[in-house]
């Protein structure tokens, strides 16, 4: 960039100004933004990757990409819940507004390695967003995969994301979609199952041999993984996508470090085999409790 003396180009921190072309509310606090990167920047990404999304004067945060990697118009979608200083103004953006992106970053879901396998997608809450590109990409190349089963849990019927698409995916992509909610408030109507997402394991048809991925709040992923391990799924067939604070997105800032692993660069997608037994220190070692806890002799060996 000429005129900005002191900057080295190419600058990995330089975000690109992008136009919001649609902002569709999903729930009372969640919006899906459809973003058009400038034509010169072909925003090529793979399912499971994330962008650093920012507003000048407000801040920047990693947000997973929720759209089809093969979108013919090269549009990028982010499903954003209003929880913090940045995400609140992001959910109020209107078509025509500017949002700043840099990326994509992170290791994607290894779809190529999953070819010819059955897929089990276990999702909770906003965790459906990073899995949506998997559904769309696998659905488009449907013949490459075996059976596909999506389990999705939300807090209430009003918290369901992509509500209309869920039924359409089942039909168009020939996949099984099972949805549950934790609770039904008096003012909402729900005819489906009630209970946490792992309750759907009782009804699911997926069996060990399928590749399973879990994405959602960490507590949900913990029970999802444990349930699958208990049912005989090997750790090498289980995948998760993790969320941590990130300042850079490519392994420099250290904020997302889990021991020697950096979520932004080595993840956010991990095979459970890579994380099981690893030692990292957090107040609530939620995921580390999967498979009997992190502090055994096996843990020390893997440091």
Partner 1 sequence: MPPRLLATDEVEALFQALRRRGPVFGPAAGLDSGARPPPAGRLTPLRYAPLERACDAVLAPAAFGYPAKRLWFRPSVTLAAARRAVPASGPGPWEPGPPPAGAAPPLNPDPARPFAVWGVRGCDLAALERLDAVLMTGPVTDPEYAARRRAGTVVAFTCTQAGPACFCTATGGSPVPAGGCDLVVTPLAGGPGGNGAREYLVEPRSARGEALVEEVGGRPAGRAAVAAAAAVIGSVRAALPRSLNGRLRPENAAQKAARRLDSPAWDELAGRCLGCAACSLTCPTCPCFDVVERVSATADAGWRERRWTSCLVPDFGRLASHNARARRENRLKHWLLHKLAPAEKVTGGLTCVGCGRCSTWCPAGLGLRAALESLEGEGGLP
* Site for partner 1, rule CB under 8 A: 1, 3-15, 17, 56-61, 83-84, 87, 97-98, 100, 217, 243-245, 247-248, 250-255, 257, 259-260, 265, 279-284, 295, 299-301, 303
Q: Give the residue with the Cβ less far from partner 1, 235 or 298.
A: 298
CA distance 17 to 36: 9
Q: How far is the CB of 112 from partner 1 (least distance, A)?
A: 19
Joined tokens for residue 283: 């107040």
Q: Give the residue with the Cβ less far from partner 1, 78 or 178.
A: 78
Q: Give the residue with the Cβ less far from partner 1, 157 or 249.
A: 249
- Scored b (16 or more CB within 10 A) or e, 85-118 reads ebbebbbebeeebebbbbbbbbbbbbbeebeebb
Residues in Cβ contact with 230 at an 8 Å cutoff, skipping those fewer than 6 apart: none
Closest of 21, 23, 162 to residue 91, by C-alpha: 23
Report residue 255: phi and psi, to 5°: -70, -30
Q: Give the residue with the Cβ less far from partner 1, 57 or 232.
A: 57
CA distance 73 to 85: 30
Q: Give the residue with the Cβ less far from partner 1, 58 or 184.
A: 58
Q: How far is the CB of 261 from partner 1 (least distance, A)?
A: 10
H or E element, residue 265 = helix 263-266
Q: How far is the CB of 12 from partner 1 (least distance, A)?
A: 5
Q: How far is the CB of 38 from partner 1 (least distance, A)?
A: 11
Q: How far is the CB of 163 from partner 1 (least distance, A)?
A: 23
Joined tokens for residue 175: 């996949």
DSSP state of 210: B
Closest of 12, 18, 38 to residue 264, by C-alpha: 12
Q: How far is the CB of 1 from partner 1 (least distance, A)?
A: 7
Q: How far is the CB of 254 from partner 1 (least distance, A)?
A: 3
Q: Give the residue with the Cβ less far from partner 1, 10 or 72.
A: 10
Sign of the alpha-carbon torsion through 212, 235, 106, 214: positive
Closest of 129, 164, 134 to residue 149, by C-alpha: 134
Q: Give the residue with the Cβ less far from partner 1, 175 or 248.
A: 248
């Amino acid at each position: 960039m000429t005129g900005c003396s002191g900057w080295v180009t190419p600058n990995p921190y330089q975000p690109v100004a992008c136009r919001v072309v649609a902002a569709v509310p999903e729930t009372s606090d969640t919006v899906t933004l459809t973003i058009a990167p400038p034509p010169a920047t072909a925003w090529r990404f793979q399912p499971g990757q994330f962008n650093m999304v920012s507003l000048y004067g407000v801040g920047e945060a990693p947000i997973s990409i929720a759209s089809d990697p093969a979108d013919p118009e090269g549009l990028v979608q982010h499903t954003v819940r209003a929880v913090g200083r940045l995400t609140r103004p992001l959910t109020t953006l209107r078509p025509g507004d500017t949002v700043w992106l840099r990326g994509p970053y992170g290791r994607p879901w290894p779809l190529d390695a999953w070819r010819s396998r059955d897929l089990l997608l276990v999702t909770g809450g906003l965790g459906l967003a990073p899995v949506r590109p998997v559904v769309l990409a696998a659905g488009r190349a449907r013949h490459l995969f075996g059976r596909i089963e999506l389990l999705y849990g939300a807090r209430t019927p009003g918290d369901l994301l992509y509500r209309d698409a869920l039924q359409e995916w089942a039909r168009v992509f020939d996949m099984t979609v099972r949805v549950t909610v934790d609770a039904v408030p008096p003012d909402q109507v729900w005819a489906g199952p009630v209970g946490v997402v792992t309750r759907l394991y009782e009804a699911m048809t997926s069996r060990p041999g399928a590749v399973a991925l879990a994405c959602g709040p960490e507590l949900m992923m913990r029970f999802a993984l444990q349930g699958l391990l208990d049912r005989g799924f090997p750790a090498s067939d289980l995948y998760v996508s993790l969320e941590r604070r990130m300042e850079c997105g490519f392994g420099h800032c250290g904020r997302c470090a889990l021991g020697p692993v950096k979520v932004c660069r080595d993840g956010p997608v991990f095979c459970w085999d890579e994380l099981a037994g690893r030692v990292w220190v957090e107040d609530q070692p939620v995921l580390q409790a999967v498979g009997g806890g992190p502090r055994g002799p096996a843990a020390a060996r893997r440091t």
